[in-house]
Amino acid sequence: MPRLLHLIRKQWGDNKRMYVMGMTITIAIIAGIYFFNVLAAYNLARVFFDSPLRPVLYYAGLFIVGCIFAGLYFNDLSFKPRAITQLLLPASNTEKSIVAILFAVVLFFSVYTALFEAVDFAAISVAKALPATLHRTPLTREQVQQLHIFNMFDGNPVNNVELSIFFALQSLFLLGSVYFEKFGYIKTALSLIVIVLLFILYVVKLADNFLPSGGFDGDMHYFKSYDEHSGVHLIPIPWLLGWLMLRGIYILIAATWVTIWFRLKEKEV
């Protein structure tokens, strides 16, 4: 435990400037977009508050900045002098993996979400506090008073899927930073784009050849088959296949974390 705490303090001490500056710039941009809509953009304010643009803004920052942070975490391993120092740290591969996941995945997500919610709350509070005669939004006073902060933990299946994909991508970019020798972030991004395109082509081809016209339901328990003559048919999916489809992202995340440990071990050899 003392070694783990020492490693956490060292990671923060060596990179706090990058973390603070990166997060400050990100939140400043988000705050600028928010308050521009609240105070200036009369015609855009309704679109902003009364549409999915707030979730889009949240997830855009989460995915883009989060993947950059994760993709640069093990950047020191690309430079021999720094790599030697990194690998000779008095900590086990397990401790190094835990600290990497803590900073690149858990802490980034927690801090970014807390700051975004603070900006969201502040912008809505300002909108509610503006006198009716100065109100810049075309929303009625009653609509403004009913505004609430964006909650990504509201149980909406879309939010659950988005967050699961984020944690998977964050873990993959973290793996890419230790797997590739140089330009890990760029190589990881290109690799994932190619893999996703090949997967989409494979699924489309598979669906055309073996599945009837239709699609899966939201819970992945049934396949909805459409027929122009007989309508919709629900085809039950075997429980094991359904379980794997629902848990596939979590299995991928766990497998990625294990692979990070093995890759760090290879670096020591």
Number of domains in the chain: 1
> Other CB atoms closer than 10 Å to residue 125's CB: what's the count?
12
Of the pLDDT bands very low, low, confident and very high (cuts 50, 70, 90), residue 66 is: very high
Q: Do residues 4 and 95 lie in contact, with contact meaning Cβ atoms separated by under 8 Å?
A: yes
Does residue 93 register a pLDDT over 90?
no
Q: DSSP state, 86?
A: H
The pLDDT of residue 243: 63
Does residue 211 register a pLDDT over 80?
no
Q: Do residues 224 and 217 lie in contact, with contact meaning Cβ atoms separated by under 8 Å?
A: yes
Does residue 43 register a pLDDT over 50?
no
d(CA 104, CA 252): 17
Does residue 265 register a pLDDT over 70?
yes
Does residue 139 register a pLDDT over 70?
no
Of the pLDDT bands very low, low, confident and very high (cuts 50, 70, 90), residue 157 is: confident
The pLDDT of residue 3: 79
Q: Do residues 49 and 37 lie in contact, with contact meaning Cβ atoms separated by under 8 Å?
A: yes
CA 211 to chain centre: 31
Of the pLDDT bands very low, low, confident and very high (cuts 50, 70, 90), residue 209 is: low
The pLDDT of residue 183: 79
The pLDDT of residue 171: 93
Q: Find the helix packing angle between 53-71 and 2-39, rounded to 10°.
A: 150
Q: Do residues 122 and 150 lie in contact, with contact meaning Cβ atoms separated by under 8 Å?
A: no
The predicted model scores a pTM of 0.79
Show the domain range for 48: 2-268
Q: pLDDT higher for 87 or 112?
A: 112
The pLDDT of residue 167: 93
Buried/exposed code over 222-249 (b: 16+ C-beta within 10 A; e: otherwise): bbebeeeeeeeeeeebeeeebeeeeeeb
One DSSP character per residue, 95-134 reads HHHHHHHIIIIIIHHHHHHHHHHHHHHHHHHHHHHS-GGG
